[in-house]
Amino acid sequence: MIKLAVTGAAGRMGRRIITLAKESGAFEIVAALEWDQCPQLGQDAGLVAGIGALGVNITVEPEVKPDVIIDFSLPASTMGWVKYCRDNKIALVVGTTGLDESQKSQLKQAGADIPVLLGANMSLGVNLLCKLVQDVASRLDEDYDIEIVEFHHRFKRDAPSGTALELGRHAAMGRDYKWPDCCQHGREGKEALREPKTIGMHAVRAGDIVGEHSVYFSALGETIEIRHNAHTRDTFVRGAIKAAKWLNGRQPGFYDMFSVLGL
């Protein structure tokens, strides 16, 4: 079995990763990781996740070397795990959102020494959607305006979402627009007409919405909408688990979910 470590083990995503990784039968969970002020430090990770004792306590660093770490945390924490994995030759799957270009560059550099996989969104459906958006954008001319609207829960820190930005990037690739210069974030004012060769980007934060993304291609007379709704966070967890299986044993390199799906 693949020896797995999970960061943010006491959080919502961490608990579900532990639960579904255990259910898959493909992983031995050897480390459940949290920050040094986490109230659940020292507690059994399985009990915290609600699946019964695993015999693995929540700690700050792994006590057993894992084959793969799955990281859904905050950007600063992710950078710490990048260094840890690089120093210890451990494969790393990153689902953290809100990474800036410098941090993404550090992940790419780590790929020289270890296998690293970064997913702006771990959903298999969303990654297929990105490919579809690029294809549609390349086939429809500039009579079709492109607008992206994303919805998430009120607690989400970054806006727009990493997924929305990834959809925008693929739309720009299809149109041969310069990204992110072509991205227009929202509109306001009395003179806020749509500018040509731009991709509109709009973020909604409300309630407990898991994640909804819509891409509109709209001309005078018709609109095409391509939409993805995440019903549960398990969608992202299952994608991350699939990515960890795929990444285990790979040669050093920088990968994404397209690599996992063969797109």
The two tokens of residue 209 are 């919405």
Which residues are CB-neighbours of 92 under 8 A, at least 6 positions away? 68, 69, 71, 81, 82, 85, 110, 114, 115, 116, 117
pLDDT of residue 134: 97
Give the residue-averaged pLDDT of 45-58.
Answer: 96
Residue 81 confidence class, pLDDT cut points 50, 70, 90: very high
CATH topology of domain 124-229: Dihydrodipicolinate Reductase; domain 2 (3.30.360)
Helices (H), 63-198: 75-88, 101-110, 124-139, 162-175
pLDDT digits over 162-209, tens only? 899 999 999 999 999 999 999 999 999 999 999 999 999 999 999 999
pLDDT of residue 120: 78
- Is residue 69 a contact partner of residue 27, using CB atoms and an 8 Å limit? no
pLDDT of residue 244: 97
- Is residue 175 a contact partner of residue 138, using CB atoms and an 8 Å limit? yes
Give the residue-averaged pLDDT of 226-249.
Answer: 94
pLDDT at position 98 over 90:
no
pLDDT at position 263 over 90:
no
CA 12 to CA 66: how far, in whole Å?
21
pLDDT of residue 247: 97
Q: How far is CA 135 from the centre of its chain?
A: 22
Task: Please report the DSSP string for 15-50 in residue order.
Answer: HHHHHHHHHHSSEEEEEEE--TT-TTTTSBHHHHHT
pLDDT of residue 173: 97
CA 63 to CA 61: how far, in whole Å?
6
pLDDT of residue 87: 97
- Is residue 11 a contact partner of residue 58, using CB atoms and an 8 Å limit? no
What are the boundaries of each domain within the chain? 2-122+233-261, 124-229
Pick the CATH number of 2-122+233-261 from 3.30.429.10, 3.40.309.10, 3.40.50.720, 2.160.20.10: 3.40.50.720
Comparing 17-26, 116-125, 165-174, the range with the smallest average pLDDT is 116-125
Give the residue-averaged pLDDT of 53-77.
Answer: 95
Nearest to 1 by CA among 242, 238, 245: 245
CA 66 to CA 63: how far, in whole Å?
9
pLDDT at position 229 over 90:
yes
pLDDT of residue 46: 96
Supply the residues annotated as catalytic. Answer: 152, 156
pLDDT at position 13 over 90:
yes
Q: Which residues of 91-114 are buried (b: 16+ CB within 10 A; e: fewer)?
A: bbbbbbbebeeebeebbeebbeeb
The two tokens of residue 187 are 């509109």
**pLDDT: which is higher, 38 or 263:** 38
Residue 97 confidence class, pLDDT cut points 50, 70, 90: confident
